[in-house]
Amino acid sequence: MGLLESIGFNVGRSTTKVDVGEVFEFAISRNEYVKLDMISFYKMILTDVLSMTQGLDDDKSSMLVKSYLANEVKIDALTLIAESMYLRTELFLVFDSTVVVRQATPEEQSRIRESYKDPTSPPVKNAVYVNFKEYKVTELLKVYSSMEYTALSKLDKDLNFSKALQVGIKGMRANVSLSDSSIAFKQGKDIVDGLRKGHDIIKDSEDTLTSGVPVLDPILKTFETVDKKKSLKTRLPMSYITGELSPGGLTDTGDGDARALHRGLRLHYITLFKPIIENLFDIKTSFEEPVKNANDGATQLLQTFNLDESGYLSEDEKRVIIRRAFNIQES
């Protein structure tokens, strides 16, 4: 039975309930989206921390990231760490003689766990035990990711509706009997088929042909709120969360964001990356210091001159000072 019959016409009404399901169902489930989003977000942070870690040679760095060669380890160490952060589980990693970083076997896990519990027992070399059970910020980030999913699925539905032509026939249910409903439905379909072929159509003056227009403002505000929350909980600038800023990248977000990004990544290095890597490879590492812009002071000088209205310095005197600050030769 069709949906038109289930809503009822002028004469006769069907009592059959029809479940039309979700219209324009999103391509991915909420749980799968949250999982992929969270793991990729954590891995992005770990990858950027890795790029700023000093004391780790290229060979060891390559053991931590994904390789798509068929004979390589299927899951790289950074992904294992990111998944464990998301799942809030224990993780045992070892650096073995085959020169790979992998998950420990059950037997290795027992020995590693014992060495961590009992300080007097001999430590297991090139192995690390991480416990993310108390990493509760993950639960908040899951909520934010779920909110993002809702906004994205709403946007996807709105965009699909915007490309779907909606034919409104005035008084169709009120003036058409149930026995004639199939005729009315065919007329509506003929109109749509005609439009699809680019033909002229005949319609009542009060019939409507419309398509939806996505309402973006509430969706964009949701994205902004989610990004602000993620920024607050991870101590990383919002421009980094949105992809506008990357370590060492040139952006319009300002030097303040770059410094905030360095502080945030350094925090993840100290609390997470450093203890894992140093225990795994039995090495000492450090975190890259931010590169200071040699022209920062001179740029600040320009801003000061732009705001200065005291008249204490003449324009010619300002030009001389600026040439010296930027090492500009007189022409």
Per cent of the chain over pLDDT 70 is: 73
The amino acid sitting at 68 is Y
Please report the pLDDT score of residue 2 as a whole number: 44
Please report the pLDDT score of residue 176 as a whole number: 64
Domain-located, residue 330: no
Are 119 and 69 within one domain? yes
Cα-atom radius of gyration of the chain, to the nearest Å? 31
Q: What is the pLDDT of residues 249-268, one digit of tens each?
A: 545 555 778 889 999 999 99
Please report the pLDDT score of residue 311 as a whole number: 65
Are 112 and 230 within one domain? yes
Q: What angle do CA 204, 177, 180 make, to 5 degrees?
A: 75
Are 111 and 65 within one domain? yes
Are 8 and 109 within one domain? no
Are 205 and 225 within one domain? no
Please report the pLDDT score of residue 50 as a whole number: 95
Are 246 and 119 within one domain? yes
Cβ pair 6, 14 in contact under 8 A: yes
Q: What is the pLDDT of residues 121-161, one digit of tens each?
A: 888 889 999 999 999 999 999 999 999 999 999 999 888 87
Block residue for tokens 């004979």: 71
186 versus 88: the higher-pLDDT residue is 88
Q: What is the pLDDT of residues 182-200, one digit of tens each?
A: 776 777 777 778 777 777 7
Domain-located, residue 120: yes
Domain-located, residue 249: yes
Mean pLDDT of 279-290: 90
Are 50 and 76 within one domain? yes
Mean pLDDT of 289-308: 61
Q: CA 143, CA 137: separation in Å to the nearest integer? A: 10
Per cent of the chain over pLDDT 90 is: 41
**For residue 167, what is the enclosing H or E element?**
strand 165-168
- Using 50, 70 and 90 to split pLDDT, how confident is the model at 291? low
Question: How many folded domains does the chain comprise?
Answer: 3
Are 57 and 140 within one domain? yes
Are 183 and 126 within one domain? no
Q: What is the pLDDT of residues 2-55, one digit of tens each?
A: 444 444 555 555 555 545 466 688 899 999 999 999 999 999 999 999 999 999
Q: CA 273, CA 266: separation in Å to the nearest integer? A: 9
Please report the pLDDT score of residue 302 as a whole number: 61
Please report the pLDDT score of residue 250 as a whole number: 46
Are 113 and 180 within one domain? no
Q: CA 141, CA 268: separation in Å to the nearest integer? A: 16
End of a domain among 211, 226, 247?
Answer: 211
Please report the pLDDT score of residue 174 as a whole number: 64
End of a domain among 211, 230, 253?
Answer: 211
Across the chain, mean pLDDT equals 81
Mean pLDDT of 81-109: 91
Domain-located, residue 235: yes
Domain-located, residue 42: yes
Domain-located, residue 331: no
Are 90 and 230 within one domain? yes
Are 80 and 164 within one domain? no
Domain-located, residue 10: yes
Domain-located, residue 207: yes
Q: Find the domain containing 203 and state its range.
A: 3-21+158-211
Please report the pLDDT score of residue 162 as a whole number: 80
